[in-house]
Every structure is written in structure tokens, then in C-alpha cells.
Chain A
Amino acid sequence: MFSMRHWAYITIIFTIALIVVPSLIGVVILLQLAQEITTSQIINALSSVMNSLVVAGLVTIINILVSIPFAWRIARKNDSLSKFLDFILDAPLFVPTAALGFSVLSFWSSGYYSLNLISPGFWLVVLLHFTFTHPYIVRTLIGVIRSTDLSVEVAAKSFGIKRAALSRTIYLPMLKAGIIAGALISFARSISETGATYVVAGPFETGPVFIKNRLSVDPGSAAFAAVSLLLVSIFIFFIIRRISRRRFLPLHPETKIEKMIGLKTAFSINIISLLFFAVMILIPSFYLVAYLSPGATCDWASLTNSLLLSTIIALAVSIIDLFFGIPLAYYLARADSLLRDLVEALVIVPLIVPTVSLGTSLGYFWGSFGLNPVIAIAFAHLSFTFPIFVMSYTAAIESIDPELELVAQSLGADTIKTYREITLQLTKSAIASSAVLVFTRSFGETGATISVAEAMAAEIYTLPLLLVSWIKKAQAGLIPFSTVAIASFITLIIGLLMMAVIKMAGGKRGKYE
């Protein structure tokens, strides 16, 4: 008889065949390219990888610090500010990464009305990376905070524990899973982002930018950097996982330092985190809108075509992710075996591969089968969205008491009926929010898409690629910046609308939640 387990196994085969294997074969292709390179090429490649690590580490750590109070505010207070923040939170993900890079560049550096504070380079890359990693960390944390038991806090307070000690001994360990999951996604996104970083990097080269710059002129160096980045990422993931198993944050009363820096307020509403969100994330992400001027126009036909293409790809990718991701997430959440751990590790691989190298290798791989470039792009999008969906939905299922499922089975429902009537019903909103993540990611992705198109020598303009080409033209003075601004603005509005629709389709949060 067909059960959830069979479905999960089919999914595992799908995952390995269509997502893991192409990514790995892509790596092999890169390895062959990287065979004959000189020491100076190696040093250059490695220093770019080092840059990526520093950026990703810095961004992730600061992001966690400012995200905890922010997520806490949204999850625990049910007022209109929370609702607004909850809605606007994912917005930076809707700005196609190329446009996002341009927007951040305009805000901090050159351009109209700009602050002219920070020129392209390391710090601008860091500032940029905040904007697109922040939503992932906050989303994950909100999910975890909403599902934690309030009685633990009450109990701890009744022992007369000081706020700072409470934060360290009770809240942080409770949030540990969320912090680690969020940190993993944030780190992975930061280390592999290409499209936006390229715009703001200036002379500074992160690993992916290095790869993009060399791909056509010096494929050996590019391939070497791609493989190094991959290996380093896997190593870091492994370390974070190991650390996460250990107990940290030891038990002892409030320390002097904690009193001094006043962590007391860390978990109550935190002005700094709100300011951070507004100044560092929201405004820079949408600064492009400042270029809007009355009477601005653009090539509407190309814009509509690209919009349609991106929507179709994002929708198709989301649906396939859901179809295969749900059983796989269920399997990862409930199974306890060596195969499970192996599959979990494999699923993450495409997420750590820098999008440029992923796109390039997938382009070569699917190109050798003579696949239609649009479908190849959709496959590439599947590779990096699938892990996002699976990781996020796995966490949601893990928060559902397995006893509910066991009782349903004992009452006569087989595993599929149990999933449909119990687990699915209780995780609807998580599916919707995971789908939003996937849809936005596909809709706005630049780096991998551009590499697939280039590797297959195809003239394809998804919305982000159209924006990239327009930004290039605008920078060359061929078209006014207002053209780019209006296109980005329309993209953003449509993105927000779609997000609202998906969220509503996922159902309102029921009274039992």
C-alpha cells in the first residue's frame, strides 16, 4: 500500500536525480576546468573566498543580534505594528537582487539624493547582505518563538531569575534551533550571493564576484574559486552543526557585564532593532523608488514579457517544490536513521554552491542534453529553492506533536490520511510562508539565472535579467535611470501583491495556533 514513506522515497530519488546529481556533476565539470592554474591564481582565488567568509560571518552574527529582539516583538505582541512588520518583513526579497544592489548602492554611495557615505567595497557589500539575509533569520526566529511554551518563562521568572540571566539560560537555549537554522540560511545566502554583490563590490571581490569576473576570461581560476568556496562552505556548515549539538550559555547568575550593558531590555521592545530594520534594510532596499519621476516610461512590452516569464517560472518552481518538498520535509522531520541524515546533508548542497557556479555548471549540464534554456533555468531555480522550502517546512513539522499523528493512525487513518487531516491542517500557514520564501527567491534571482543563460548562450530575459541589462544601459547613459526605477517599482508592487495572495490562500492563523 502507498504510504507517506513511499512518497518520501520517491521524493528522495527525485531530489538526488534532479537536484543533487546535476549540482555535483557541475562541480566535477568545474574541477576539470581548474586543473592547470598557477600559484598566483590560487592565491587570488583563495583571498576572494576569504573575503566571502568574512562578509558572511560578520553579516550573520550582527544579523542574529539585531534579529532576536525584532522577531520577539513580532511574535509575542499582537498589535498593529507587529502585523505591519510581519507583512513588510519579506519585502527586500521581492526586489530582484540586481535592482537591490543598485538600490543599496544609490542609497549609501552614488546617485540622486544619496548620502555619499560609503563607497563601493567591503562595507557596502556587508550593508547589502544585511538586506537580503535579515528576512530569513527573522522569519525562522518568529516561527520558533511562536511555537515555544510560555510556561517555561513563567516558571523561570518565579525562581527570581534576573532578566539577563533569564535571556541567557532560558530564552536563548529555547531559540537555539531557530538561531542555528536561521544562521545557516543566512550564511549560505550571503556566501553565494552574486547578482547584487556584483553591483556594489567595486574593486572588492567576494568569491562569487571573482568567479563571475573570471568565468569567461580565466575559467581555471573561476572554477578553482568555486570549488574552494564550496568546500569551505561545507566545512563551516559541518562546524556549526557540531557546535549546535553542544550545550552552551552556561547557568550562572547575572554577570557584571550583563548588568553593565543592560541586557535587561534585550527582549522587550527594542528601538535599536526597529531602527536597524528601517535604516539598514527597508529604506536602502527601496531607495530605487527615489529615481521615479513624473512621466517616466519604459519599454512596456519587454517588461510585461519578462514579468510573465518570471511569474511562470516562479509559480512552476513553487508548485514542484511543494509537491516534492512536503513529503521530503515530513520524512526529515519524522524519520530517525542514517539515510535521513545523509539526505539532509545532500539537500543543503545546492544552497551552499555559489549561485554563479551553480548556474554555470547546471547550464553546461542541461545544455549537453539539449534542454530548452527556460526549463534549464527553472531546474536551476529548483536547485536552490528546494532546500529553502524543505528546511523551513521541516522545522514547522518538527514543532507538531508526533503523538497527534500516532493517535490518528491508531484511530484508523493511514499515514497519508493522517498527514492530510492532521499535520497538513496544522502546518498550513508554515507551507504558505515557506512558499512565499521560495516564490520570492525564484522571482528575484539573478546570479544563477544569468549564468545559465550565458552558459547556454541563450537570449532570455527574466525580470531580474531585464533589470540588470537596463541598469547597465542606464549606467552607460543610454537610457534614463527613471526607466530602471519604474520597472523595479512595478516589480515590487506585483511581488507584494502576489505575496499577499499567497499568504491569504494559506489561511488565516486559526484560533488553535
Chain B
Amino acid sequence: MNKILEVKNISKRFGNIQALRDVSFDVEKGEFVFIVAHTNAGKSTLLKIIAGILEPDEGEIYIEGENITKTPPWERPVGYMPQTYALFPHMTVLENVMFGPIHRGLDREEAIEKAQKYIELVGLKGWEKAYPHELSGGMQQRVALARVLAVEPKIILLDEPLSALDALLRVKLRGEIKKILKGKTVLWVTHDQEGAMSLADKLIVMRSGRIVAVGNAMELYYKPTSLYVAHFLGEINFIESVAHGGFVQILDTKVSTDKIGPVVIGIRPEDIKIVKNNSSPLGRVKELRFVGGFWRLLVDVEGIDLVVYSLKRIRSKEVSLRIHPEDVLVFDYPPEGIRRAVHLE
């Protein structure tokens, strides 16, 4: 285990708002860690605290075992890239990228050399003399990336690096960034769960300033620890039910559980199979919508509305559904009710 970053019990309050509550996690060398959370959950605050721009009220930050909680930002071996990129408007691409190396003590020649190396790495060779306002959004983002890389930080902190770009470019650049940052230790903050799940070695889910889940993407998606995480990481059907005798039932599927009493059953729309088998429960198709690549159905089965995904277009008014017991999640019924338990805040 080679821990680069350790965040220990960080809390931060702005006036009446508790931005972070007792946040702790580690990032290991070469890991790609994503913090996903809804807007205003405190994720940008957390990055700023690690970068040294904000001071935490409580808790400590360690880099390679060294406590840097009181170290000023310019002495921290971290690279911070804000959402707005914050390229220096009065400097060329080269000057922007050189800025870090110069202030980290390199002489001019070395700084230029280093800057050129990273400008080339992000694919902007030939644009050294351009000013930020002459570049497209995607290019600006790559300049910001080169600028962070040029200080060769122990860990790179990215705050929503793709949010300013359009959807197509976002998917393309997501892959490119991953390639550019290969082998680097990265902490990436986003509200885009899909993007996070496709890139992350480790996923941290935050809600109202608290960490609610840590794990790898598949694990959290298929075996979420709470209703909130299940709901936040992708569409899911929640059905209220009661467990007794070691079982709960959904349609004709019996699932064994050690829970007793009121429970919530969770099943992902893609895990409900449409079958041509008359013995399976029959449902009425209430809604059919093409959502690009697949179809989203709302099916009424025995008075329960289920969202079901289908790769093929469904032309009949009725469908038979089958659910495998291993795809079914069983949660304790939350005392505050399902709606409040999954409320995004």
C-alpha cells in the first residue's frame, strides 16, 4: 500500500452551512479516484482544502505521510485545476504552462523545456504563442491540464474539468484525459455519475458534505450500500414490500433475505428481462420512449409500475417479465420514507 493522499476527519463550515462533515478517505499511488456528488454537496470545498486554498475547521491532510494541513498552497506538491480553468488571460499558452515550473524553482530554459513537453503531450504543439481567448473550450481545457502537469505534482486535483464542454466533446475528452493522465495519481470531482463510473478506479459518493459510500464503480452500482447510492448512480425501481420467513417476493421471484418486516426492493431497469414465456407475469405497457440506443418502458404489473429497458423495440401492448433473484437488492425500509432517503441535496 502506497498512500499518496490521506484525508482525515475534515470538517468545514461557512456561516450556517456545514459544507463538510468528518470526511476521511485515502488515495493510493497511480489511482484514479472520483468524488461524485450532487451540486453543492461540498466536493469543490474539499478539493480547495486539499489544494490549501481553504483552511479546514477540523481535520488533517497528509501527502505521502507528511501533514500538510498548515502548508501554504505554493509549497504543496498538488496540482489544482478549477472548473473555470482560470487560464491567465494576459499570458500565452507557453507562459501559462511555464508559470508553475518557474515558481517551483526551475530556471527559464528548463521551464520552457518542461512546458513544451507537456504542451506537446496534450496535443497543442504549435499553439505556444496563442492567448487563451483565441482557443476553443476544449483547447483551453488542455492548456489547463498541461499547466497542472508541468509542476509534476504528486496528486492532480480536477474540479469538474468537463462541465464547460458540450456532450460529444465531453465523451471524447474524457477518454483523452484518461490517456494523458495515465499512471498519474488523480482526484477528480464531478456530478456526472456515468463519466465517473467509466473511468474510476475508486468511487467516493458524497451527500450534504458527508461521504456515504466508497468502493469500485461496479461494486457500488450493483451492490449499493444504501437507497441513496443505488438511486444516485443510475435509474432503479424501488418497490415497498414486507419480508417474512426469510423471503421477500417481487412478481413471481422469491428472494431470500435475513431482513424481517418492511423493506424496499431495488431492481435496475436493465435487469428486468422481457421474455416470450406465458408462465411469467404479464404487464401492460403504459409508456414507451426511445432514449438513444435503447427503449425505456413503463410497465404496470399487478398494480406495480416498473421501469424496464429493452434493446429492441416492443410493439405489443403486453409483455411478460422475468427477474432473477441475484439481481434483486433488498434494503431496510428507511424511517424517513423512500422519497426523502433518496432526495438529492
Chain A positions near chain B (C-beta within 8 angstroms):
401, 403-404, 406-414, 417, 421-422, 425-426, 510-512
CA distance A181 to B78 in the complex (A): 39
A32 to chain B, nearest CB (A): 44
Partner of A413, one of B103, B131, B132: B103
B343, CB-defined interface residue at 8 Å: no
Q: Is the CB of B74 within 8 A of A409?
A: yes
Nearest CB in chain B to that of A400: its residue: B89
**A414 CA to B74 CA, complexed, in Å:** 6
For the complex, give the distance between the alpha carbons of A465 and B151 in Å. Answer: 59
A-B contact count (CB 8 A): 70
A403 to B132, CA, bound (A): 15
Can you list 12 residue pairs at the A/B interface with Cβ under 8 Å?
A401-B86, A407-B80, A407-B86, A408-B88, A410-B51, A410-B79, A411-B148, A412-B100, A412-B104, A413-B99, A512-B132, A512-B133
Q: Which residues of A contact B148 (CB under 8 A)?
A: 411
State A422–B73 Cα separation when bound (angstroms).
16
The answer to whether B99 touches A408 (Cβ under 8 A) is: yes
B51, B53, B74, B151 — which one has the most chain A CB atoms within 10 A of its CB?
Answer: B74
- State whether B53 touches A406 (Cβ < 8 A): yes
Other than the known A404-B86, A411-B147, what 20 A-B pairs have Cβ atoms closer than 8 Å?
A404-B88, A406-B53, A406-B73, A406-B80, A407-B81, A407-B86, A408-B88, A408-B99, A409-B53, A409-B73, A410-B51, A410-B76, A410-B78, A411-B74, A412-B74, A412-B105, A412-B151, A426-B90, A510-B90, A512-B133
Number of interface residues of B (CB under 8 A): 30
Given the known interface contacts A406-B82, A406-B86, the answer about A411 and B72 at a Cβ–Cβ threshold of 8 Å is: no
Measured between beta carbons, the chain B residues less than 8 angstroms from A407 are: 80-82, 86
> Which residues from chain A contact B151 at a C-beta distance below 8 Å?
411-412
Q: Does B52 contact A (CB under 8 A)?
A: yes
In Å, the complex CA distance between A426 and B103 comes to 19
Query: Complex Cα distance A254/B102, Å?
Result: 55
Q: Are B90 and A411 in contact (CB under 8 A)?
A: no
What 0/1 readout, one digit per residue, does chain B (31-61) give for beta carbons within 8 Å of chain A?
A: 0000000000000000010011100000000
B84 touches A411 (CB 8 A): no
Contacts of A410 in B (CB 8 A): 51-53, 73-74, 76, 78-80
Q: Contacts of A426 on B, CB cut-off 8 Å? A: 89-90
In the bound complex, how far is the Cα of B99 from the Cα of A412, in angstroms? Answer: 8
- Nearest-neighbour CB distance to chain A for B290, whole angstroms, equals 30
Chief secondary structure at chain A's binding surface: helix
Identity of the chain A residue whose Cβ is nearest the Cβ of B102 in the assembled complex: A412
Closest 8 CB pairs of A and B: A412-B103, A512-B89, A411-B100, A410-B80, A403-B86, A412-B104, A409-B73, A413-B103
**Roughly how many angstroms separate A223 CA and B53 CA in the complex, as a whole number?**
50
Pairwise interchain contact B84-A401, C-beta atoms closer than 8 A: yes
State how many angstroms separate the Cβ of A426 from the closest Cβ of chain B.
6
Nearest Cβ distance between residue B150 and chain A, in whole angstroms? 8
| The residue from B53, B80, B105, B131 contacting A512, defined by CB atoms under 8 A apart | B131
When each residue 163-181 of chain B gets 1 if its CB lies under 8 Å from chain A and 0 otherwise, what string results? 0000000000000000000
Query: Does the CB pair A403–B84 fall under 8 Å?
Result: yes
Whether B72 lies near A414 (C-beta < 8 A) is: yes
Per a CB cutoff under 8 Å, which of A409, A414, A422, A511 touches B88? A422
Q: What is the CB-to-nearest-CB distance from B106 to chain A, in angstroms, rounded to a whole number? A: 10
Of residues A407, A417, A426, A510, which shows the largest number of chain B Cβ atoms within 10 Å of its Cβ?
A407
A507 to B264, CA, bound (A): 68
Measured between beta carbons, the chain B residues less than 8 angstroms from A512 are 89-90, 131-133
Please, which residues of chain A bring their CB within 8 A of the CB of B102? 412
Most A CB atoms within 10 A — which of B79, B80, B103, B151?
A: B103
Would you list which residues of chain B between 128 and 155 have a CB under 8 Å from chain A?
131-133, 147-148, 151
Question: Which residue among B53, B82, B89, B131 has the maximum number of chain A CB atoms within 10 Å of its CB?
Answer: B89
- In whole angstroms, how far apart are the Cα atoms of A512 and B148 in the complex? 22
- Residues on B with C-beta less than 8 A from A425 are 90
Contacts of A417 in B (CB 8 A): 103
Give A408 to B104 CA distance when docked, in angstroms.
11
- Which partner residue on chain B sits nearest A411 by CB separation? B100
Residues of A within 8 A of B84 (CB): 401, 403
- B residues less than 8 Å from A411 (CB atoms): 74, 79, 99-100, 103-104, 147-148, 151
Give Cα distance in the complex from A411 to B133, angstroms: 21
CB distance from B185 to the nearest CB of A (A): 16
Contacts of B99 in A (CB 8 A): 408, 411, 413, 421
Most B-side CB within 10 Å, residue of A401, A412, A413: A412
Instruction: Specify which chain A residues have a CB less than 8 angstroms from the CB of B72 in the assembled complex.
Output: 409, 414
Q: How far is the CA of A412 from the CA of B133 in the complex (A)?
A: 24
Query: Nearest Cβ in chain B — how far from A247, in angstroms?
Result: 20
- Contact check: which of A401, A413, A421 meets B74 at CB < 8 Å? A413
With both beta carbons as reference points, the residue of chain B lying nearest to A425 in the complex is identified as: B90
Q: Closest A-chain residue to B100, C-beta based? A: A411
Closest CB-CB distance, A466 to chain B, in whole Å?
A: 44
Taking CB as reference atom, which chain B residue is nearest A512? B89
- Report the separation of the CA atoms of residues A406 and B103 in the bound assembly, to the nearest whole angstrom: 14
Q: How far is the CA of A412 from the CA of B102 in the complex (A)?
A: 8
Q: A260 CA to B148 CA in the complex, in Å?
A: 57
What is the minimal beta-carbon distance from B160 to any residue of chain A, in angstroms? 13
Minimal beta-carbon separation of A80 from chain B (angstroms) = 25
